[in-house]
Amino acid sequence: MNGHFPWLTTLAALPFVGGLCVAAVPAGKRRLAKNVALLFSLLTLAVAVVVATKFDNDGGRFQITESYSWISSFGVRWSLGVDGIGLVLILLTAVLMPLLILASWHDADEAPVGADGSAGAGRPAPRGTHAFFALMLLVEAMVVVSFAATDVFMFYVFFEAMLIPMYFLIGGFGGAQRSYAAVKFLLYNLLGGLVMLAAVVGLYVATANQGIGVDGHGTFDFVKISQAVATGQLDIDPTAEKALFLGFMFAFAIKAPLWPFHTWLPDTMTEATPGVAVLVTAMVDKVGTFAMLRFCLEIFPDASKYFAPVVITLAVIGIIYGALLAVGQTDIKRLIAYTSISHFGFIILGIFVMTSQGQSGATLYMVNHGFSTAALLLIAGFLISRRGSKTIADFGGVQKVAPVLAGTFLVAGLATLSMPGLAPFVSEFLVLVGAFTKYKVAAIFATTGIVLAALYVLVLYQRTMTGPVRPGNEKLRDLVPRELAVVVPLIAFLLVLGVYPKPVLDAVNPAVDHTLSRVEQKDPAPTKPIEQAAGTEAHTTGGSK
Amino acid sequence: MSTAATATLAVTKVDAPTIEYGKLSPILIVAGVAVVGVLIEAFLPRPARYRAQLTVALVGMIAAFGAIVWLARDLPDDHRGSITAMGAIAVDGPSLFLQGTLLLIGIASVLLIGERRLEPAGGDAFAPQAAAAPGSQQEKDAAAAGWTQTEVYPLAMFSLVGMLLFPAANDLLMMFVALEILSLPLYLLCGLARRNRLLSQEAALKYFLLGAFSSAFFLFGVAMLYGYSGSVSLDKIGVASAGAMDNDALLLIGLAMVAVGLLFKVGAVPFHSWTPDVYQGAPTPITGFMAAATKVAAFGAMMRFFYVALPGMRWDWRPVMIGVAIATMVAGAVIAITQTDVKRLLAYSSIAHAGFILTGMIAMNDAGVSSTMFYLVAYGFVTLGAFAVVTLVRDARGEATHLSHWAGLGRRSPLVAGVFALFLLAFAGIPLTSGFAGKFAVFQAAARGGAGSLVVVGVLCSAIAAFFYVRVIVLMFFSEPKADGPTVVVPSVMTTAAIALGVAVTVVLGILPQPVLDLADKAALFVH
């Protein structure tokens, strides 16, 4: 396993080192700090692409693995490795980061607004810009480790540690209520994480008592645990297994966020700068859904099956609730936050219906949601920064003064409502098909989310972009080249993945099949052949033991 | 083990006790340093004392630490130690590990005590003349003359001698003597603050009265246990109590009383009420020393008492201790939320942490001992570092300990605020800090020892505790600085070194805890 070049450690270390370099740039040289940050995010992207080329879709479960001794007293190793799901999410992270840095180019330059809403109270901190970009890169490093960790403890450490730089990003930069939002974010997630810590300890004790680890210590090796669970070597008492599952799931449900654990998200996304808001929804939250798929399902298969109806119900409620609240919002960023809650409902629904289409769709949805939300939020952010207001009523007729901005916003909005031809359609369709084969009622209710999505996106577009030019909107500038450089790649990804999602699905499917085989789920036999979704093969392999 | 042989020898030949001076060398060195310190006070001219005291104390503690390393290397391969001084002192893994920790904390504390750059008028954190009544002309004269008291060094060293003895004491009388040696100088030191002298004297009196109470409890318990087993030796009590089938009143009362004395020293609920007042009133370097070192020593003694003398009684004392641990964690975390003074906040946080440490101790397995010791190392250095930072944030009236004064500190002094934030995060147990490694260690030990309920309470209390740690961070970083806010004084190299040590231990034990965990694992066996 060892002896090869440690690609994944390098991939995680690059943004970390980059963050340190940015922080070390002298205080006066903001531009240099930004350039260093951009450079390191691009380097990370390059390494991520190299890792992707080394990944073989038909190879083993975890590839590009490495493992070093870390804290042997706790049975913890520094173990990294990716399966298809981890890989595509790492790629998503690596692709988004340079775009986020570009989009946030000027966000940290001025002093943040005071708590009373007064603009630029006090002087800007001399190293505020440096801190902002250093923290962004730090979060990227931790997200990458979380996606690549094959050791449960190691995953937990970075899953939790990530909160601290996020907390400073939210609380240090952004709107008037940012301090409140940051504390809410941290306390919610910390509570989830601490409850999970009890479950992590419980898992450790279970492995130690049943002799899975070495020398009487327990183990956190995910591969070992998941195999021991599959072979029955690790046989946790059903009640304990349910408790442990709930401990893990609680943390992930807060992070993801699943209704009713979602209330931190709207505040965070409204108050944070657009770049940080994307960081939260597109990357950090994905760690939650990713972890449900990997850890909850594989380590606690029986409990997952037991609780699946509950989770599915909550997910469907989240889909409809998020969409309904989005319709009623008057604040652009808050609206987008509620659409995200709705979309996370779809992702969690896809994971817990435990069919191959559902889970492939959910994974693809994580990627697509990353791109579509990033596009929508960042363009909205550009718009908001021009007008100095995030209230929908302040806008109107923008498409006459800034046609490119309005046009790209429309594309991003159509992606959010899952317009066929754009990426989210494929994933949403797969999730619904996967849900329909097993949970018809849930699928039917979830479909209403699509209808509501059309409502909230089109109404938003109509109010802000069409109609007569509202006072205060006459002078809005169209997108500048830097902003175009952010938006164009995002739109391109939405289009390409909309018509040709095969590369992602090919990478994801083996991992999904493996997960399903571990929870001993087979796709129900189709009563009639399933129509093929755009560009995908309906695959029914795997699943059987 | 030749314990029995030496004991019988002692009965027949009273005049020749055998003392293995080599094995006691760490304690003896520090005791010698304390005595030399007193002589320095007596014979050196006033201006020369400061430098001499500081040098002697630091060199002595480093030498004692060297002696501990030497003794630890001499431990036999099975890591069992030996019992020396006629059965009174155990030189084994836990003793040496905790003594080493105490000496390192002692070195950092003396660096803080010796800091003389912070007071604008010169001098250190201690009253120029302790005997002068607060506000009197005498006091003003002493301050104007620029007097400083250097007795604090020998006092601190005597206290350290007691602390070194406390976890090593293998019979209850020695334990009591150690308890008094460590406590009496501390009572005095608490009353010596230069600023807020009335508060400081109140703290000292309170600490003394309650401490005397708890000592009386302890001694009463010792008498009961002697009455039960006919010995004050922990081993013999262990043998006698192992066969206790019926509920023997003497044994149970004695156990409870000794436990009260020990729980008082660690500040566990319901014996915690002195902690906030004393922590707030004492001179901050002493608070740091007391908070870090007393806990290490007292938990060491508590573990030895329960693991060596009363392992057979665990079904009697464990449920009670589980209750105490839960009450301690909950009360510490909940009451801390309402605090508005940094030192009181840290005091309540120390109560909550005493609960977490009890969680590890209750495990009653080797993992319990090693994880408790690891936690003590992690906690000790974080605490010391946090109090060191408190000494730096000052306004015209001395240290600005009211929380509202800390608003916006992160804007003004990002480095100091960042370091304090690191310590708070470590207290909160955020991963990649020493606090997390310690918390995980004690929780897994407790879970393996069958105390899963404690783990659940522990994580919930951690969440509550996180709230007030985060609140301070919010205040420092996300609030507007006040116009007349405090300034951060640039300290001398000594305080800087102590804080740097705290930061280094916090980060290293957070990222690479394995070497220290290994050491604690090896040192986890009590000699019987």
DSSP run (H or E) holding B398:
strand B398-399
A338-361 pLDDT, tens digit each: 999 999 999 999 999 888 889 999
A208-263 pLDDT, tens digit each: 888 777 777 788 888 888 888 888 888 888 888 899 999 999 999 999 888 888 99
Q: Which residues are A8's β-sheet partners? A: none
Mean pLDDT of all residues in B429-456: 90
Q: Which of B375, B423, B430 to mutate to test the interface with A (most CBs of A within 10 A)?
A: B430
Contact A198 B478 (CB under 8 A): no
More confident residue, B399 or B210: B210
Q: Which residue of A has its CA nearest to B426?
A: A161
What's the confidence (pLDDT) of residue B8? 55
A177-220 pLDDT, tens digit each: 888 899 899 989 999 999 999 999 999 888 888 877 777 778 88
A23-70 pLDDT, tens digit each: 888 887 888 888 899 999 999 999 999 988 888 888 778 888 888 888
Label residue A318 by pLDDT band (50, 70, 90).
very high
Alpha-helical runs (H) found in B145-294: 152-165, 172-190, 197-229, 234-242, 249-266, 274-281, 284-289
Q: Which residues are A81's β-sheet partners? A: none
A417-454 pLDDT, tens digit each: 888 888 889 899 999 999 998 888 999 999 998 889 98
Chain centre distance of CA B340: 24
What's the confidence (pLDDT) of residue A111? 61
| Nearest in space to B286 (alpha carbons), one of B155, B116, B102 | B155
Helices A264-271 + A178-209 axis angle, to 10:
130
More confident residue, A4 or A291: A291
What's the confidence (pLDDT) of residue A392? 84
| Nearest in space to B325 (alpha carbons), one of B281, B299, B361, B349 | B361
Residue B2 has pLDDT above 60, yes or no: no
How many degrees, rounded to 5, is the angle at CA B170 between CA B166 and CA B171?
100
Q: Which amino acid is at A497?
A: L
Q: List the single residue in A125, A156, A191 with the smallest CB-CB distance to B411.
A: A125
Residue A119 has pLDDT above 70, yes or no: no
* CA–CA gap between residue B218 and residue B230 (Å, rounded): 17
Length of chain A: 545
Residue A542 has pLDDT above 50, yes or no: no
What's the confidence (pLDDT) of residue A121? 46
Lowest mean pLDDT among A449-463, B419-433, B472-486: B472-486
Contact A115 B460 (CB under 8 A): no
A357-413 pLDDT, tens digit each: 899 999 999 999 999 999 999 999 988 888 888 888 888 888 888 888 889 999 999
What's the confidence (pLDDT) of residue A123? 55
| Residue B60 contacts residue B29 (beta carbons within 8 Å) | yes
Alpha-helical runs (H) found in B230-271: 234-242, 249-266
SS3 per residue for A423-439: HHHHHHHHHHHHHHHHC
Contact A161 B474 (CB under 8 A): no
* CA–CA gap between residue B263 and residue A33 (Å, rounded): 53
What's the confidence (pLDDT) of residue B395? 85
DSSP run (H or E) holding B91:
strand B89-91
Mean pLDDT of all residues in B377-394: 94
A462-483 pLDDT, tens digit each: 888 888 888 877 788 888 888 8
Contact A156 B441 (CB under 8 A): no
**Residues in chain B closer than 8 A to A124 (CB atoms):** none
Length of chain B: 528
What's the confidence (pLDDT) of residue B35? 96
What's the confidence (pLDDT) of residue A120? 46
User: Tokens 């006040």 sit at which residue?
Assistant: B482
| DSSP designation for B195 | S
* CA–CA gap between residue B79 and residue B73 (Å, rounded): 10
**Residues in chain B closer than 8 A to A198 (CB atoms):** 443, 455-456, 458-459
Number of alpha carbons in the 13 Å side-chain half-sphere of residue A71: 25
Mean pLDDT of all residues in B366-382: 93
What's the confidence (pLDDT) of residue A535? 43
Query: CB neighbours (10 Å) of residue B253?
Result: 17
- Taking phi over 0 as left and psi of -120 to 50 as alpha, with beta for the rest, B480 belongs to beta
3-state secondary structure of B219: helix
User: Smallest CA–CA separation between A15 and chain B, in Å?
Assistant: 17
Task: Write down the domain spans for chain B.
Answer: 3-522
Integer CA distances (angstroms), A166 to A161, A233, A270, B135, B479, in order = 9, 39, 15, 50, 18
Q: List the single residue in B452, B466, B513 with the smallest CB-CB distance to A71.
A: B513
User: Tokens 């602390």 sit at which residue?
Assistant: B163
Contact A74 B441 (CB under 8 A): yes
| Nearest in space to A489 (alpha carbons), one of A412, A429, A382 | A412
**Residues in chain A closer than 8 A to B445 (CB atoms):** none
Mean pLDDT of all residues in B255-262: 93
* CA–CA gap between residue B294 and residue B266 (Å, rounded): 7
| Residue B159 contacts residue B425 (beta carbons within 8 Å) | no
Strands across the sheet with B487-488, in order?
Answer: B398-399, B393-395, B487-488
Contact B470 A183 (CB under 8 A): yes
What's the confidence (pLDDT) of residue A401? 86
B293-311 pLDDT, tens digit each: 999 999 999 999 999 888 8
Q: List the single residue in A158, A164, A205 with the smallest CB-CB distance to B444.
A: A205
User: Smallest CA–CA separation between B77 and chain A, in Å?
Assistant: 18
Q: Which residues are A63's β-sheet partners? A: A82
Q: Which amino acid is at A113?
A: V
Label residue B212 by pLDDT band (50, 70, 90).
very high
* CA–CA gap between residue B92 and residue B106 (Å, rounded): 21
Residue A536 has pLDDT above 50, yes or no: no
Label residue A321 by pLDDT band (50, 70, 90).
very high
Helices B342-362 + B452-478 axis angle, to 10:
160
* CA–CA gap between residue A530 and residue A525 (Å, rounded): 10
CB pairs under 8 A between A and B: 104
Structure tokens at B293: 């070192």
| Residue B259 contacts residue B270 (beta carbons within 8 Å) | no
| Residue B211 contacts residue B169 (beta carbons within 8 Å) | no
Integer CA distances (angstroms), A532 to A84, A352, A537, in order = 22, 22, 6
User: Smallest CA–CA separation between B314 and chain A, in Å?
Assistant: 21
Q: Which of B409, B440, B462 to mutate to test the interface with A (most CBs of A within 10 A)?
A: B440
Label residue B343 by pLDDT band (50, 70, 90).
very high
Label residue B79 by pLDDT band (50, 70, 90).
low
**Residues in chain B closer than 8 A to A70 (CB atoms):** 512, 514
* CA–CA gap between residue A108 and residue A132 (Å, rounded): 7
Alpha-helical runs (H) found in A60-174: 84-103, 128-148, 152-161, 163-172
B276-299 pLDDT, tens digit each: 999 999 999 999 999 999 999 999
Instruction: List all residues 6 or more positions away from A124 whose beta carbon is below 8 Å from its beta carbon.
Output: A109, A110, A111
**Residues in chain A closer than 8 A to B458 (CB atoms):** 198
Integer CA distances (angstroms), B334 to B295, B466, B505, in order = 21, 11, 28
Contact A197 B440 (CB under 8 A): yes
| Residue B492 contacts residue B115 (beta carbons within 8 Å) | yes
A62-75 pLDDT, tens digit each: 888 888 888 888 88
User: Smallest CA–CA separation between A333 and chain B, in Å?
Assistant: 22
User: Tokens 């806008």 sit at which residue?
Assistant: A395
Helices B366-392 + B493-511 axis angle, to 10:
140
Residue B484 has pLDDT above 80, yes or no: no
User: Smallest CA–CA separation between B376 and chain A, in Å?
Assistant: 17
DSSP run (H or E) holding B417:
helix B414-428
* CA–CA gap between residue A497 and residue B446 (Å, rounded): 50
Contact B521 A73 (CB under 8 A): yes
Alpha-helical runs (H) found in A330-391: 332-352, 356-387
Contact B441 A182 (CB under 8 A): no
What's the confidence (pLDDT) of residue A534? 44
* CA–CA gap between residue A64 and residue B410 (Å, rounded): 42
Complex-level ipTM = 0.88
Label residue B246 by pLDDT band (50, 70, 90).
low
Label residue A545 by pLDDT band (50, 70, 90).
very low
| Residue A226 contacts residue A518 (beta carbons within 8 Å) | yes
**Residues in chain B closer than 8 A to A77 (CB atoms):** none
| Nearest in space to A456 (alpha carbons), one of A420, A416, A398 | A416
Mean pLDDT of all residues in B443-464: 89
What's the confidence (pLDDT) of residue B1? 43
User: Smallest CA–CA separation between B443 and chain A, in Å?
Assistant: 7
Q: List the single residue in A171, A191, A198 with the smallest CB-CB distance to B474.
A: A171
Task: Write down the domain spans for chain A.
Answer: 302-545
Residue B376 has pLDDT above 50, yes or no: yes
| Nearest in space to B92 (alpha carbons), one of B112, B73, B72 | B72
Contact A197 B459 (CB under 8 A): yes
On the 0-12 / 13-18 / 19+ scale of CB atoms within 10 A, A438 is: middle
Contact A74 B470 (CB under 8 A): no
β-pairing, B487-488 vs B398-399, is unpaired
Helices A238-255 + A178-209 axis angle, to 10:
160
Whether residue A72 lies within 8 A of chain B, CB to CB, comes out as: yes
What's the confidence (pLDDT) of residue A521? 65
Mean pLDDT of all residues in B398-423: 88
B87-139 pLDDT, tens digit each: 889 998 899 999 999 999 999 999 999 988 888 777 788 888 888 888 888 88
More confident residue, A188 or A119: A188
**Residues in chain B closer than 8 A to A161 (CB atoms):** 430-432
What's the confidence (pLDDT) of residue A1? 42
